[in-house]
Amino acid sequence: MPAALQTNKRLEHCIEVLADLVAYRSVSADGNRAITEDIAHRLGAAGARVWTEPDATGAKLNLFATIGPERSGGVILSGHTDVVPVADQVWSSDPFSLREADGRLYGRGTCDMKGFIAACLTMAPHFAALPLKVPVHLAFTYDEEIGCFGAQALTASLVARGIRPAAAIIGEPSMMQPIDGHKGCNEYTTWITGREGHGSAPDLGVNAVHYAAAIVMELGRLRSALKARAPRDCPFDPPHSTINPGMLAGGTVHNVIPGKARLDWEMRPVQPSDVDFVKEALDSFVQAELLPEMRAVHADAEIRTEVVAEVAGLIPTRENAARDLVMALTGANSAGLVPFGTEAGLFQSIGIPSVICGPGAIAQAHRADEFLARDQLAECLAMLEGLGARLAASKVTS
Protein backbone atom coordinates (compact mmCIF):
# COMPACT_ATOMS: atom_id res chain seq x y z
CA MET A 1 0.00 0.00 0.00
CA PRO A 2 1.45 3.45 -0.92
CA ALA A 3 2.70 5.37 2.12
CA ALA A 4 0.32 8.30 1.59
CA LEU A 5 -2.68 5.98 1.37
CA GLN A 6 -1.57 4.10 4.50
CA THR A 7 -1.16 7.40 6.37
CA ASN A 8 -4.63 8.61 5.38
CA LYS A 9 -6.21 5.26 6.25
CA ARG A 10 -4.56 5.35 9.66
CA LEU A 11 -5.82 8.88 10.30
CA GLU A 12 -9.38 7.96 9.38
CA HIS A 13 -9.25 4.96 11.69
CA CYS A 14 -7.89 7.17 14.48
CA ILE A 15 -10.82 9.55 14.06
CA GLU A 16 -13.20 6.59 14.36
CA VAL A 17 -11.47 5.57 17.60
CA LEU A 18 -11.68 9.16 18.85
CA ALA A 19 -15.42 9.19 18.16
CA ASP A 20 -15.80 6.07 20.31
CA LEU A 21 -13.81 7.63 23.15
CA VAL A 22 -15.66 10.95 23.05
CA ALA A 23 -18.96 9.09 23.40
CA TYR A 24 -17.94 8.00 26.90
CA ARG A 25 -19.11 10.64 29.39
CA SER A 26 -16.01 10.23 31.51
CA VAL A 27 -16.42 13.41 33.55
CA SER A 28 -14.28 13.06 36.68
CA ALA A 29 -17.27 13.03 39.02
CA ASP A 30 -18.88 10.14 37.12
CA GLY A 31 -15.89 7.81 36.86
CA ASN A 32 -13.94 6.34 33.97
CA ARG A 33 -14.40 2.59 34.37
CA ALA A 34 -16.33 2.08 31.12
CA ILE A 35 -13.88 3.92 28.89
CA THR A 36 -10.88 2.30 30.57
CA GLU A 37 -12.30 -1.19 30.18
CA ASP A 38 -12.84 -0.45 26.48
CA ILE A 39 -9.24 0.73 26.15
CA ALA A 40 -7.98 -2.36 28.00
CA HIS A 41 -9.91 -4.59 25.56
CA ARG A 42 -8.47 -2.78 22.53
CA LEU A 43 -4.91 -2.98 23.84
CA GLY A 44 -5.27 -6.62 24.82
CA ALA A 45 -6.52 -7.43 21.32
CA ALA A 46 -3.44 -5.69 19.93
CA GLY A 47 -1.18 -7.96 21.97
CA ALA A 48 -0.38 -5.69 24.90
CA ARG A 49 0.10 -6.95 28.43
CA VAL A 50 -2.46 -4.95 30.42
CA TRP A 51 -3.20 -4.38 34.08
CA THR A 52 -5.68 -2.04 35.72
CA GLU A 53 -6.04 -0.75 39.26
CA PRO A 54 -9.22 0.74 40.75
CA ASP A 55 -9.57 3.59 43.19
CA ALA A 56 -11.25 3.04 46.56
CA THR A 57 -14.73 3.38 45.04
CA GLY A 58 -14.16 0.98 42.17
CA ALA A 59 -15.74 3.50 39.77
CA LYS A 60 -12.37 4.70 38.51
CA LEU A 61 -9.47 2.79 36.98
CA ASN A 62 -5.86 3.38 36.10
CA LEU A 63 -4.49 1.36 33.20
CA PHE A 64 -0.94 0.35 32.38
CA ALA A 65 -0.06 -1.67 29.29
CA THR A 66 3.18 -2.86 27.74
CA ILE A 67 3.98 -3.77 24.14
CA GLY A 68 7.33 -5.31 23.28
CA PRO A 69 10.01 -7.21 25.16
CA GLU A 70 9.88 -7.79 28.90
CA ARG A 71 12.89 -5.75 29.87
CA SER A 72 13.70 -2.49 31.60
CA GLY A 73 13.64 0.86 29.87
CA GLY A 74 11.36 1.88 27.09
CA VAL A 75 9.00 4.80 26.74
CA ILE A 76 5.70 5.59 28.48
CA LEU A 77 2.94 7.24 26.47
CA SER A 78 0.76 8.84 29.12
CA GLY A 79 -2.68 10.40 29.15
CA HIS A 80 -5.80 10.85 31.29
CA THR A 81 -9.24 9.56 30.41
CA ASP A 82 -11.32 11.95 32.52
CA VAL A 83 -12.75 15.18 31.13
CA VAL A 84 -14.20 18.35 32.61
CA PRO A 85 -17.99 18.87 32.83
CA VAL A 86 -20.08 20.51 30.13
CA ALA A 87 -22.61 21.99 32.57
CA ASP A 88 -23.49 25.65 31.89
CA GLN A 89 -21.65 25.59 28.55
CA VAL A 90 -23.48 26.32 25.31
CA TRP A 91 -22.32 23.89 22.61
CA SER A 92 -23.16 23.99 18.90
CA SER A 93 -23.68 20.22 18.95
CA ASP A 94 -23.78 17.28 21.34
CA PRO A 95 -20.44 17.47 23.23
CA PHE A 96 -20.34 13.68 23.53
CA SER A 97 -20.82 13.01 19.84
CA LEU A 98 -17.81 13.72 17.60
CA ARG A 99 -18.51 16.27 14.88
CA GLU A 100 -16.11 17.16 12.10
CA ALA A 101 -16.26 20.50 10.30
CA ASP A 102 -13.66 22.54 8.44
CA GLY A 103 -10.80 20.26 9.48
CA ARG A 104 -11.74 20.38 13.15
CA LEU A 105 -12.92 17.52 15.35
CA TYR A 106 -15.42 18.84 17.91
CA GLY A 107 -16.33 17.13 21.18
CA ARG A 108 -15.58 17.11 24.88
CA GLY A 109 -12.09 15.75 25.42
CA THR A 110 -10.98 15.79 21.78
CA CYS A 111 -8.13 18.12 22.67
CA ASP A 112 -7.75 17.30 26.37
CA MET A 113 -6.82 14.53 25.83
CA LYS A 114 -8.70 11.76 24.09
CA GLY A 115 -7.11 12.69 20.77
CA PHE A 116 -3.71 11.58 22.05
CA ILE A 117 -5.18 8.40 23.53
CA ALA A 118 -6.91 7.61 20.23
CA ALA A 119 -3.58 8.01 18.44
CA CYS A 120 -1.91 5.63 20.91
CA LEU A 121 -4.66 3.04 20.43
CA THR A 122 -4.43 3.39 16.65
CA MET A 123 -0.69 2.78 16.74
CA ALA A 124 -0.78 -0.10 19.24
CA PRO A 125 -1.13 -2.87 16.60
CA HIS A 126 1.70 -1.24 14.63
CA PHE A 127 3.94 -1.23 17.70
CA ALA A 128 3.08 -4.90 18.33
CA ALA A 129 4.15 -5.82 14.78
CA LEU A 130 7.56 -4.18 15.13
CA PRO A 131 10.69 -5.94 16.42
CA LEU A 132 10.97 -3.52 19.34
CA LYS A 133 14.28 -3.58 21.21
CA VAL A 134 12.64 -2.01 24.27
CA PRO A 135 8.97 -1.77 25.23
CA VAL A 136 6.37 0.87 24.63
CA HIS A 137 4.23 1.42 27.75
CA LEU A 138 0.82 3.06 27.80
CA ALA A 139 -0.42 4.70 31.00
CA PHE A 140 -3.95 6.09 31.18
CA THR A 141 -5.24 7.57 34.43
CA TYR A 142 -8.32 8.89 36.23
CA ASP A 143 -8.97 12.22 37.95
CA GLU A 144 -6.26 14.33 36.35
CA GLU A 145 -8.71 17.19 36.04
CA ILE A 146 -9.40 17.36 39.78
CA GLY A 147 -5.96 16.78 41.27
CA CYS A 148 -3.97 14.13 39.35
CA PHE A 149 -5.09 11.52 41.88
CA GLY A 150 -4.90 8.67 39.41
CA ALA A 151 -1.34 9.49 38.38
CA GLN A 152 -0.27 9.72 42.01
CA ALA A 153 -1.58 6.19 42.56
CA LEU A 154 -0.12 4.91 39.29
CA THR A 155 3.38 6.25 39.87
CA ALA A 156 3.34 4.68 43.35
CA SER A 157 2.39 1.36 41.74
CA LEU A 158 5.21 1.64 39.21
CA VAL A 159 7.70 2.11 42.02
CA ALA A 160 6.24 -0.81 43.99
CA ARG A 161 6.36 -3.07 40.92
CA GLY A 162 9.90 -2.05 40.02
CA ILE A 163 8.86 -0.68 36.62
CA ARG A 164 11.32 2.01 35.52
CA PRO A 165 10.91 3.23 31.93
CA ALA A 166 13.62 5.45 30.52
CA ALA A 167 11.32 8.23 29.36
CA ALA A 168 7.73 9.43 29.55
CA ILE A 169 5.83 11.40 26.91
CA ILE A 170 2.72 13.04 28.34
CA GLY A 171 0.36 13.85 25.47
CA GLU A 172 -1.25 17.00 26.85
CA PRO A 173 -2.09 19.54 24.14
CA SER A 174 1.07 21.41 23.14
CA MET A 175 0.56 21.84 19.37
CA MET A 176 3.00 18.93 19.04
CA GLN A 177 5.82 21.05 20.48
CA PRO A 178 8.05 19.59 23.21
CA ILE A 179 7.49 21.12 26.65
CA ASP A 180 9.94 20.39 29.46
CA GLY A 181 8.70 22.57 32.29
CA HIS A 182 5.73 23.83 34.25
CA LYS A 183 5.10 24.88 37.84
CA GLY A 184 3.57 22.60 40.42
CA CYS A 185 -0.05 23.06 41.44
CA ASN A 186 -1.03 22.68 45.11
CA GLU A 187 -4.61 23.19 46.23
CA TYR A 188 -5.81 23.60 49.82
CA THR A 189 -8.99 24.27 51.76
CA THR A 190 -8.77 25.93 55.16
CA TRP A 191 -11.76 25.42 57.46
CA ILE A 192 -12.36 27.96 60.26
CA THR A 193 -14.69 27.08 63.13
CA GLY A 194 -15.66 29.86 65.53
CA ARG A 195 -18.83 30.54 67.54
CA GLU A 196 -22.06 32.08 66.32
CA GLY A 197 -23.73 34.93 68.15
CA HIS A 198 -25.74 38.09 67.76
CA GLY A 199 -24.07 40.79 65.70
CA SER A 200 -24.70 43.33 68.44
CA ALA A 201 -22.34 41.48 70.80
CA PRO A 202 -19.26 40.67 68.72
CA ASP A 203 -17.05 40.01 71.76
CA LEU A 204 -19.22 37.07 72.78
CA GLY A 205 -18.73 35.21 69.52
CA VAL A 206 -15.78 34.11 67.41
CA ASN A 207 -16.24 35.46 63.91
CA ALA A 208 -14.99 32.78 61.53
CA VAL A 209 -15.06 35.13 58.52
CA HIS A 210 -12.89 37.63 60.38
CA TYR A 211 -10.22 35.00 61.03
CA ALA A 212 -10.50 33.67 57.49
CA ALA A 213 -9.78 37.19 56.28
CA ALA A 214 -6.75 37.31 58.58
CA ILE A 215 -5.47 34.15 56.89
CA VAL A 216 -5.99 35.76 53.48
CA MET A 217 -3.91 38.71 54.63
CA GLU A 218 -1.17 36.36 55.86
CA LEU A 219 -1.17 34.55 52.53
CA GLY A 220 -0.70 37.95 50.91
CA ARG A 221 2.35 38.56 53.09
CA LEU A 222 3.72 35.15 52.18
CA ARG A 223 3.06 35.84 48.50
CA SER A 224 5.34 38.85 48.75
CA ALA A 225 7.96 36.82 50.61
CA LEU A 226 7.98 34.23 47.84
CA LYS A 227 9.13 36.84 45.34
CA ALA A 228 12.34 37.26 47.32
CA ARG A 229 12.87 33.48 47.29
CA ALA A 230 12.82 33.19 43.48
CA PRO A 231 15.67 30.96 42.28
CA ARG A 232 18.33 32.66 40.22
CA ASP A 233 17.69 32.39 36.46
CA CYS A 234 14.30 30.77 37.05
CA PRO A 235 12.76 30.18 33.59
CA PHE A 236 9.12 30.50 34.66
CA ASP A 237 6.90 33.56 34.30
CA PRO A 238 6.60 34.89 36.92
CA PRO A 239 9.92 33.50 38.16
CA HIS A 240 8.70 32.79 41.69
CA SER A 241 6.11 30.68 43.44
CA THR A 242 2.65 32.23 43.63
CA ILE A 243 -0.35 32.04 45.99
CA ASN A 244 -3.94 32.69 45.04
CA PRO A 245 -6.90 32.79 47.48
CA GLY A 246 -9.62 31.54 45.17
CA MET A 247 -12.80 31.45 47.28
CA LEU A 248 -13.90 32.63 50.71
CA ALA A 249 -17.31 31.64 52.01
CA GLY A 250 -18.98 32.07 55.39
CA GLY A 251 -21.88 33.59 57.22
CA THR A 252 -25.60 33.79 56.53
CA VAL A 253 -27.00 37.26 57.20
CA HIS A 254 -25.83 40.71 58.25
CA ASN A 255 -26.59 40.48 61.96
CA VAL A 256 -25.32 36.99 62.85
CA ILE A 257 -21.71 36.35 63.82
CA PRO A 258 -20.61 33.63 61.40
CA GLY A 259 -19.47 30.47 63.16
CA LYS A 260 -17.94 28.77 60.13
CA ALA A 261 -15.94 29.84 57.12
CA ARG A 262 -14.12 28.15 54.27
CA LEU A 263 -11.12 29.41 52.33
CA ASP A 264 -9.98 27.72 49.11
CA TRP A 265 -6.50 28.68 47.99
CA GLU A 266 -3.73 27.45 45.76
CA MET A 267 0.02 27.69 45.42
CA ARG A 268 2.05 27.16 42.26
CA PRO A 269 5.57 26.43 43.43
CA VAL A 270 8.73 26.71 41.35
CA GLN A 271 10.70 24.75 43.96
CA PRO A 272 9.69 22.24 46.65
CA SER A 273 11.26 24.27 49.46
CA ASP A 274 8.69 27.02 48.91
CA VAL A 275 5.90 24.59 49.79
CA ASP A 276 7.47 23.86 53.17
CA PHE A 277 8.14 27.56 53.72
CA VAL A 278 4.49 28.52 53.20
CA LYS A 279 3.06 25.63 55.22
CA GLU A 280 5.34 26.25 58.19
CA ALA A 281 4.82 30.00 58.15
CA LEU A 282 1.04 29.70 57.94
CA ASP A 283 0.88 27.10 60.68
CA SER A 284 3.05 29.26 62.93
CA PHE A 285 0.76 32.24 62.34
CA VAL A 286 -2.35 30.20 63.11
CA GLN A 287 -0.92 28.55 66.21
CA ALA A 288 0.80 31.61 67.68
CA GLU A 289 -1.64 34.39 66.83
CA LEU A 290 -5.08 33.31 65.70
CA LEU A 291 -5.99 30.25 67.76
CA PRO A 292 -5.02 31.70 71.18
CA GLU A 293 -7.24 34.71 70.52
CA MET A 294 -10.13 32.57 69.26
CA ARG A 295 -9.91 30.03 72.08
CA ALA A 296 -9.84 32.74 74.73
CA VAL A 297 -13.52 33.18 73.84
CA HIS A 298 -14.43 29.67 72.68
CA ALA A 299 -12.27 26.69 73.67
CA ASP A 300 -13.47 24.58 70.73
CA ALA A 301 -12.49 27.08 68.06
CA GLU A 302 -10.47 25.46 65.30
CA ILE A 303 -8.54 26.17 62.11
CA ARG A 304 -7.77 23.20 59.91
CA THR A 305 -6.12 23.12 56.48
CA GLU A 306 -6.92 20.20 54.19
CA VAL A 307 -4.67 19.20 51.31
CA VAL A 308 -6.87 18.87 48.24
CA ALA A 309 -3.99 18.07 45.88
CA GLU A 310 -0.25 18.59 45.70
CA VAL A 311 0.95 17.97 42.16
CA ALA A 312 4.66 18.19 41.47
CA GLY A 313 5.85 20.57 38.78
CA LEU A 314 7.93 19.53 35.79
CA ILE A 315 11.35 20.99 36.44
CA PRO A 316 13.50 21.78 33.38
CA THR A 317 16.83 19.97 33.60
CA ARG A 318 20.01 20.14 31.56
CA GLU A 319 19.78 16.43 30.74
CA ASN A 320 16.39 15.04 29.77
CA ALA A 321 16.25 11.91 27.60
CA ALA A 322 12.51 12.31 27.01
CA ARG A 323 12.85 15.88 25.77
CA ASP A 324 15.76 14.96 23.51
CA LEU A 325 13.80 12.01 22.10
CA VAL A 326 10.75 14.12 21.25
CA MET A 327 12.89 16.88 19.75
CA ALA A 328 14.46 14.27 17.47
CA LEU A 329 11.05 12.87 16.54
CA THR A 330 9.39 16.22 15.83
CA GLY A 331 12.36 18.12 14.44
CA ALA A 332 12.06 20.81 17.10
CA ASN A 333 15.26 22.61 18.04
CA SER A 334 14.12 23.71 21.50
CA ALA A 335 11.62 22.97 24.25
CA GLY A 336 9.26 25.38 25.93
CA LEU A 337 7.33 25.98 29.16
CA VAL A 338 3.60 26.07 29.84
CA PRO A 339 1.57 27.75 32.62
CA PHE A 340 -0.79 24.83 33.21
CA GLY A 341 -0.13 21.74 35.30
CA THR A 342 0.09 18.12 34.08
CA GLU A 343 1.00 14.67 35.35
CA ALA A 344 4.53 14.98 33.93
CA GLY A 345 6.07 16.13 37.21
CA LEU A 346 4.80 13.01 38.96
CA PHE A 347 6.68 10.76 36.54
CA GLN A 348 9.75 12.98 36.90
CA SER A 349 9.46 12.71 40.70
CA ILE A 350 10.01 8.93 40.53
CA GLY A 351 13.07 9.30 38.35
CA ILE A 352 11.58 9.03 34.86
CA PRO A 353 12.72 11.81 32.48
CA SER A 354 9.52 13.40 31.17
CA VAL A 355 8.32 15.71 28.44
CA ILE A 356 4.95 17.02 27.29
CA CYS A 357 4.05 16.70 23.62
CA GLY A 358 0.55 16.20 22.28
CA PRO A 359 -1.93 17.35 19.65
CA GLY A 360 -4.08 20.42 19.99
CA ALA A 361 -3.91 23.74 21.78
CA ILE A 362 -4.65 24.22 25.47
CA ALA A 363 -6.71 27.28 24.51
CA GLN A 364 -9.30 24.89 23.09
CA ALA A 365 -9.53 22.74 26.24
CA HIS A 366 -12.31 23.02 28.87
CA ARG A 367 -14.41 25.36 26.75
CA ALA A 368 -17.62 24.91 24.81
CA ASP A 369 -17.04 23.54 21.29
CA GLU A 370 -13.69 22.08 22.32
CA PHE A 371 -11.92 20.86 19.20
CA LEU A 372 -8.83 19.16 17.87
CA ALA A 373 -7.51 20.08 14.44
CA ARG A 374 -7.34 17.14 12.07
CA ASP A 375 -3.77 17.99 11.03
CA GLN A 376 -2.65 17.96 14.68
CA LEU A 377 -3.89 14.38 15.02
CA ALA A 378 -1.97 13.49 11.86
CA GLU A 379 1.20 15.01 13.30
CA CYS A 380 0.76 12.98 16.48
CA LEU A 381 0.40 9.75 14.51
CA ALA A 382 3.56 10.61 12.58
CA MET A 383 5.49 11.18 15.81
CA LEU A 384 4.34 7.84 17.21
CA GLU A 385 5.29 6.08 13.97
CA GLY A 386 8.74 7.60 14.26
CA LEU A 387 8.95 6.47 17.87
CA GLY A 388 8.19 2.90 16.88
CA ALA A 389 10.83 2.96 14.17
CA ARG A 390 13.39 4.34 16.58
CA LEU A 391 12.68 1.74 19.26
CA ALA A 392 12.87 -1.05 16.68
CA ALA A 393 16.23 0.19 15.40
CA SER A 394 19.55 0.51 17.16
CA LYS A 395 18.57 3.77 18.88
CA VAL A 396 17.39 2.08 22.04
CA THR A 397 15.97 3.99 24.98
CA SER A 398 16.90 1.97 28.03
Helices 115-129, 33-45: crossing angle, 10 deg rounding: 20
Among residues 144, 187, 218, 385, which one is catalytic? 144
Spell out the long-range contacts of 31-36 with Cβ–Cβ below 8 A and sequence spacing 24 or more.
31/57, 31/59, 31/60, 31/142, 32/59, 32/60, 32/61, 32/81, 32/82, 32/142, 33/58, 33/59, 33/60, 33/61, 35/81, 36/61, 36/62, 36/63, 36/81, 36/140, 36/142
Residues 372, 115: contact at Cβ < 8 Å?
yes
Helix, strand, or coil (residue 331): coil
Interior angle at CA 126, CA 122 and CA 132, nearest 5: 135
Bridge-based pairing of strands 336-337 and 179-181 is parallel
Q: How far apart are CA 287 and CA 290, in angstroms?
A: 6
Q: How far apart are CA 374 and CA 103, in angstroms?
A: 5
Q: b/e per residue, 262-272, with b = 16+ CB within 10 A? A: bbbbebbbbbe
Helix, strand, or coil (residue 315): coil
Among residues 82, 145, 172, 370, which one is catalytic? 82
203 carries an active-site annotation: no
Helix, strand, or coil (residue 193): strand
324 carries an active-site annotation: no
Give catalytic residues, as residue numbers: 82, 144
